[in-house]
Structure 1
Amino acid sequence: MLALEDITVVSLESGVSAPLCTRLLGDFGAEVIKVERPGVGDVNRHWDSVVHGDSSAHAWVDRNKSSIELDLKAEAGTEIFYELAAEADVVVQNYSPGVVERLDVGYDAISAINEDVIYLNISGYGRTGPYSDRKAYDLVMQGETGSILMNGSPDAPAKIPLSICDINAATYGTMATLLSLFHRERTGDGEAIDVTMFGGMVSWLGYFPHKYWHNDETPARVGMRHHLLTPYGPHETADDQYVNFAILSDAHWEALCTDVIDRPDLLEDDRFATNEQRVGHRETFEATMESIIAEESRDYWAQRLADAGIPWGDVNHLEDVLEHPQTDHLELIDELETEDGPVPYVRNPIDFDGLETTSEAMPDLGEHSEAILEALDYTDEEIESLREKGVI
């Protein structure tokens, strides 16, 4: 059973945030119609060409969708969009600020023809406020919401390599859509939803605002260490590998000192008696811990940490993750069959007993234009006329 198999989503999407959101909905059976500019399509199609000529981003976020090329600047294109939206459960858009209003396909226009539609706006800063007219991309938003200056080593800040702000917005967008569908099921009412990259990332700041509000403390860059806990993180071993462990409690700290590193004397050092005191003496304490771990091999420490019941793990390269025994056990990697050849992909990680996911190859630009129009009762002659006029 596919949980969303009777739900239709029409999306004006670009980049990662909205496309990933609608792909997540498509994974659970929603029919997703991706509306794209004729001859150009979503910008994510053009970032590289490593997947049999398609881009890696397109392969990541665009499976389980149909694609129709549609010129929304043409009256006929707008009329077709209205026909699609009139039958949709959900409309999603993440175009630049003001675009859907200028094209007359915003919530007001669509709700006038489909009063119970759920209309999801994903934007950088929101549709109102002093920053509402700014375009937003992941790197820009990482800087704007503090991530860059919190990340990296003491000597240099760094961006997070994943598109974390886009993923944040996609995740909140998916959750908001599901909640709104549930709300409509109860009340019969559709609604407009606003999800912002800025708000989503601010909500992910975690305990740092409390450290600022209550202790006037802003996070210094600590590299591979933890801002709030120590010892915590990867430590280099004698054989030039890493062992990654986390001390989260007094019991862990005692076990580390007595059963792992054979340094019970550290338990008697007042500077290191509590986690907060260890963080306060971070420079001295972490240098001591690093020198101890550097004396033995990765395998030596791994065994002792495991025996002591302390959380630990390896520091893997990408290929290690993709070939990881737990990746294999969870069957996270699957393969799509396409005309150009097989495309490996990472499955949706949510596992239900009674619900299924689906995986269809990402669409070529405009691959389903004709089929979608035929479903709207357009004749062959009308479709050909639209093609000749550049509407599709």
Structure 2
Amino acid sequence: MHDIRFIRETPEAFDAGLKKRGLAPLSAEILEIDKRRRAAISESEAIQAKRKALSQQIGMAKRKGENADALMAEVAALEQSLKDGEHEASRLDEELRIRLEVVPNLPFDDVPEGADETGNVEIRREGNQRNFSFPPKDHVALGEATGEMDFAAAVKISGSRFVVLKAHLARLERALAQFMLDLHTVEGGYTEVNPPLLVKDAAVYGVGQLPKFAEDMFRTDNGFWLIPTAEVSLTNLVNDMVLDEKELPLRFTAFTPCFRSEAGSAGKDTRGMIRQHQFPKVELVSITTPEQSAAEHERMTACAEEVLKRLGLAYRTVVLCGGDMGFGSRKTYDIEVWLPGQDAYREISSCSNMGDFQARRMNARYRPKEGKGTRFLNTLNGSALAVGRTLVAVLENYQNEDGSVTVPEALRPYMGGLELIPAPPAVPAKK
């Protein structure tokens, strides 16, 4: 949500931010609504002041024994005008809120220009792509050959874009999540949270998912939303709160399933585990001050990258251009892991600084150490990592020619010491 005072005082900066996102100027339209709203409020306040003055005159007339009928009639006439004025002010206030709640956040000045992903800028590349002595398979071929990655069974149970993992692969997915949680809590200083997966309208509104992205989520018949990411639950831990600055930053992490309808993604990544309706993810969320949010953003991104470093996976980090950023973000780093089965880098994490955009929607504030009053918090979130996509990356990068998969050293303690996921059983030769 945007601060109307910022738009009122710096309309050029507001429109410039929208332009970086590839959007047309909106300040004139928004300020016209605001102008009419403020006029209605002023008019109502003037009527209230006049009514108060007349009421005092009526009291004085009655004390003197004078006839106050004319004054009382005038007050009665003002009552309807006041109701009309307050109704109009309330209507315009709602119109302004509805208009502002679907306007995306403004990019920071250092966000690159660009209309789509072609405008994103690579800022670093880490690790070495493995040189295979054989043609590498993708995760689908590897997993289905063992019978431990079963898409057909998932289709029968739930439909497309689901998967059933069994045996070693089910354990590997769990091992990845445990490894990530231990890394982020023990070394990263994040507090582990086991949050609700079903949330109310206010929670998804607070992080900016509603009303604009309702079709991207699943909703139950009794009005709950299935979380599209643990960001929803974790960020809302400070909903409608006032914290002391000494409590900040707050850092939360959670391992949860996530649920997305993938509306509008027909035909994209239909093969395998890259884009599914249900997927596991370890999420990071930080709550901090405006002055510390940029440094916290770099720290969070480094924590996500550290997972890939410990797993020995090659990756690159890019900063998204204005036209490719998410709705609520002011700046986003995407981390893309190398997938030899696709011969491409694919997104495995997005780490975003939301500024005070979500905090305004949630009314989440803090008391500064110095000065009076309260300020809106800054919120940040990032995948660290998408567990299913990390599983894909491990399978494809650690595969062997016979179809077996070497378990990365960092995961072996979580796999009971297992060093190798065995190759699929050999198919008997036909006689």
* Both structures adopt the same fold (TM-score exceeding 0.5): no
Which TM-score tier does this pair reach, normalised by the shorter chain?
under 0.3
Instruction: From the CA coordinates, give the structure whose radius of gyration is larger.
Output: 2
Q: Which has the higher strand share?
A: 2
Structure 1 length as normaliser, TM-score? 0.22
